[in-house]
Each structure stands twice: as structure tokens, then as C-alpha cells.
Structure 1
């Protein structure tokens, strides 16, 4: 029987790869989004009809955090995650034959800034601030409804690397000779940013903040693995078992593109640049040290476990395509 997979919020980089991968398996793939095509947010009856009898639901919905954390953007980042997750829960509750598995995006940013030890699912410490508040509300919306026939997993996803993903701006920086480490330092805090929880406090020096990542192939592979392991539910860290630090990551990218030099970016430069490009310094300065213990202990075999091979493969593929 053909598997029916429903992808929600799948218009981005990860969603498009997932849709292609499931279709390549022969699955029927339906999409939920702001403009459909198979069901639209706000039309809960249509979403219910789509999910009734489906095998798998993967929810990736949420406004990109690659923006300035203005009050309007903060509100939409939260709403686009929590409201869509709640609506999916309501739709599943109304299904006569609900999907057996619901994989819902979360984020590894839920953990505290960590440069002292890795954060596993069982022993990781939840952080504080705006991004963490969003992540906890997101997971609460997933696990709150009573859905006894649907297994649920919150995907605490690290940085996903692939052609067209988060690696692209790093490659562009490296090719321009600006691919050195991003260095933390002093920067004045405003009252509004402190109140909103969006101010990044100086923490890890010399570009040693941890960079947890996963190759897009292993992102897809881990979701397939979760689909096939009925004993796994709750939260799962989606990350390579071999994180690096920011300095090492930028060195790997420079070598992959053949650039011998890379100027560092100091905190003051980052803050000015981030303001110009309407994004936040937290995205590169927070130390994310994620341990995928449940994947590793469960026996998932990573296709790209090491950063040098992963980045080299992606950059080589980019060259072939161009």
C-alpha cells in the first residue's frame, strides 16, 4: 500500500528535500501551507480530511528566525509555530483514523548556551530568553492534546547543512575572504532587548562557541529512522555526533572553497552587520553543543558524521550543478 505523508510548512529548504525524498520512495505526499496546495492553515476541516488515514505527519511550519527580533517579528515567530501546531493537534483529534506518527519541528536552541558540556535529551539544561520561550511553547503545543493513537516526536534540530541551506552564506563569506571566526565580545545592552530576552551576553571567546550541525541527508535519514522505530517518542536531538566550534567550522569552509585567508568578524562588526542585514548576532554567537544520544543509542548510522566530509561533499555538489 502506498504510504501517505503529509508535510506542513514544507516550502523551505528542508521541506523541499523531504518531499522529494518521500516521493522517491513512492509515497503520496500532501502539503499544508498558507496557500495550500492540498490544505490551508485556518481551514481545520480541510486539514482534518487530509490527515484522516495518513501514515505520517511532519510539521515544519514557522517563520524564519533569520530576521531582526522586532516586536512584530517576535509575535509572528511565536504565532507561526504555536498556532499551527495547535491546529494540527485539533485536526488529529477529529480524525477517525489519525496518523500513527507526528514529527514536529523544534530547535536545539532550547538548550542553554553550552561550552562546558554537551546537551543530551535526558541531561540537557533548558536555557532562557526569547528563543527558548518560543521553543518551549512550541513543544508544549505538540504534547498538550490527548492523542492516544498518534506517536509524537519533537525534533530538536541543529543547523542543517546542504546546497541552499545555512551553509550558503558561510560559503559566500569564505569566498570573499571574510571567512574567519565570529568573535564574541562586549556590546551594550538596551533596556528593550533585555526585556524581550533577545540580548546576547558575552560568553565564549576566540570563536570557540560550539557549532552543532547535521547534513541534509542525515536530517532525512533520521526522520526515516524515527518513522521505523515505534518505541521512540518525546524529544529527539537531530544533530551530528561530532560538533565542532565556530573557528573550526569556518576553517573547514575556507579550505573547501580554496580560500587561504579569512578575516575574523569581531562583535562590534557583527552587530553592525546584523543590523544592516536585519538579523541577530545570537545566530552565530550562541554556543550550541548538542548530543544526539537517542539516535546514537538507538543505532542510527550517520551517512555524514564528520564536518570535513560533509562540507566537502556539499561544496563539490554545488560546483557540479553550476
Structure 2
């Protein structure tokens, strides 16, 4: 086996499950730090922590090949003051705690990847945003990303290389955005949302997992790295691709006013749908990373196959 130990903090969610599955045959041991106990599954075991205080779990970080921090309350909710507070705390507290523990360890993890979000860039319909030239946006979700990355860099970790991975919308079979879009298509209401001109910066779940291994294997990469497919797609085109691949000829559009009503009913925010995220993975591409799913057609075909 190639890797000795991979640690996934907050790894019981969708992306953590994807990563655990990806590394199952590539690592001797995968450790998930979670608030809830779970039965050991082969070489994947769960260790409990509260994400706020140091404890026995800190021993799991010693000499790990990689730590990926995935902690954070789902932003797919209404931005009430209570939810806003939980969104911040669920990201900042575990990140600062991990930084403090790693700073104090004699043999810390070799690489620490902290999840961030491609939504940190401004609403862009006029040009792509990359790590070098991208412009940071404004608003609540951007404030969350800025605070999250600041927490990540709060502690010096000279023995641990750090990457803030600004992830696009992960497309996959089991959870996250794709099953929800597919449900709209199945109901005949899978047309464009808003004016359909907003860009969607997406990444197939397999490429999201592959990118973390690439980062392990390329020690020259640190700091900010975008993880989005190299060919973003407009919302109208993405919905067309899903309809066509699924075999649904009709898809009623959802204008902005209807989305405003619907988002209140289902308990989410329209920003998640209407913000134009035109983000490119310049540093991954420049380092030679090849995406297996470069186009939305290829990704949707694979997911629905």
C-alpha cells in the first residue's frame, strides 16, 4: 500500500465518504474524526472528537500522510442569525483547533488540506477567476470563506505543508447538488434557473478526490488551490445537459421571482443558485493535473450511467 495514514476531519459527510472510498485501497489506514461513533469498516475507522477541544484523537495526526479538514455546517439553509452563527463556528473552531494541535506536534501530518469554497470569488459573468487574478467577492458566504481561510493560517506549521482547497460544486451520484437537480428534471421543472446565464463551477467527485492525491504527490503546491473542472458551464446549459442525458425533453424554467418564493418554502437561499461562479483551476492545470471529467457532458453521462 502506498500511504500509511489519511485522516479526514468531519469525514462522515458526502465528500468525506467519497474520499474514504477513493483511498480505501490506496492507504493502510483511514481515520475519520467525527462527533458520532461508527463501526470500523475494514481499514476505515472512526475516532470521536468534539471539534473544539484537544483529546486522545490528537495522536491520530502524528506522522499522517495527509489530513483533510471537511468540517462545516451545510450552507444549504436560510441565512437566519442562528444558522449564520453555526455556519461560522462549525468551520472556524475545528480549523483553529487543528492548527493549534499541529503547531504543537513533534511529528505532525505531512500535508494539511483545508476545504474552502470557490464562492469566495465575486459574481463573474465577464471573465474567469483564478488563484492569481481572481477578485474576492462580498456578502455572507464570502465573509465565511475569508474567516475560514484566516483561521487556517492562524498558526504557523513549519513541518506541515498547507493547501486551502477552494472547491467548486461537487457533482456525484449519492448526495450534494446533483440529485436535487435531477429531481427537478424528473418533475419536468428542470429548465434554467433565473436567466440561466450564471456560470456553474463544478467538479466531478472522482476528480475532487484525485486532486487531493495529486497535492500529496506534488510537494511544490501549497497555499490557495482552486478545485473546479477546467470548463465551467452556464446554468441553462447544465440543465439542458442533465435533461438530454436523462431523456426528459421538457424542462420548465424557474424565473428569479419564483426561486425567491421556492427558496423560502424549501429553506435555502437563492444565492446558491443565482451567483455566477466562473472559476478556473489554474494551479492544478499548470502543475500538470489532468481532469478525467473536463466537460459537464462527460460528468453527467458518468453519473447517470
Mapping 1:1-322, distance limit 5 Å: 2-36=3-37, 37-41=46-50, 42-165=52-175, 166-183=177-194, 206-316=195-305
**Secondary structure, aligned partner of 1:214:** strand
Distance 2:60 2:302 in 1: 37
Q: Which deviations, in whole Å up to 9, do the C-alpha atoms of 1:221-259 show, x marking residues without a partner?
A: 111101100000000000000000000000001011100
The answer on whether the counterparts of 2:171 and 2:202 sit within 8 Å (CA) in structure 1 is yes
The answer on whether the counterparts of 2:49 and 2:55 sit within 8 Å (CA) in structure 1 is no
- Paired residue for 2:42? none
- Paired residue for 1:319? none
**Cα shift at 1:112:** 0.4
**Secondary structure, aligned partner of 1:160:** strand
Distance 1:176 1:127 in 2: 34
**Cα shift at 1:302:** 0.7
Distance 2:72 2:30 in 1: 20
The answer on whether the counterparts of 1:45 and 1:91 sit within 8 Å (CA) in structure 2 is no
Distance 2:96 2:34 in 1: 15
Distance 1:142 1:218 in 2: 23
User: Bigger CA drift: 5-14 or 40-49?
Assistant: 40-49
Distance 1:173 1:143 in 2: 40
Distance 1:77 1:264 in 2: 30
Q: How many residue pairs align between the two structures? A: 294
**Secondary structure, aligned partner of 1:113:** coil
Q: Which deviations, in whole Å up to 9, do the C-alpha atoms of 1:72-94 show, x marking residues without a partner?
A: 00000000001110010111122
**Cα shift at 1:280:** 0.5
**Secondary structure, aligned partner of 1:44:** coil
The answer on whether the counterparts of 2:66 and 2:109 sit within 8 Å (CA) in structure 1 is yes
Distance 1:152 1:26 in 2: 20
**Secondary structure, aligned partner of 1:14:** helix
The answer on whether the counterparts of 1:67 and 1:279 sit within 8 Å (CA) in structure 2 is yes
**Secondary structure, aligned partner of 1:208:** coil
Segments of 5+ residues of structure 2 without an aligned counterpart are 38-45
**Cα shift at 1:53:** 2.0
The answer on whether the counterparts of 1:86 and 1:141 sit within 8 Å (CA) in structure 2 is yes
Distance 1:94 1:126 in 2: 32
The answer on whether the counterparts of 2:162 and 2:223 sit within 8 Å (CA) in structure 1 is yes
The answer on whether the counterparts of 2:165 and 2:225 sit within 8 Å (CA) in structure 1 is yes
**Secondary structure, aligned partner of 2:67:** strand
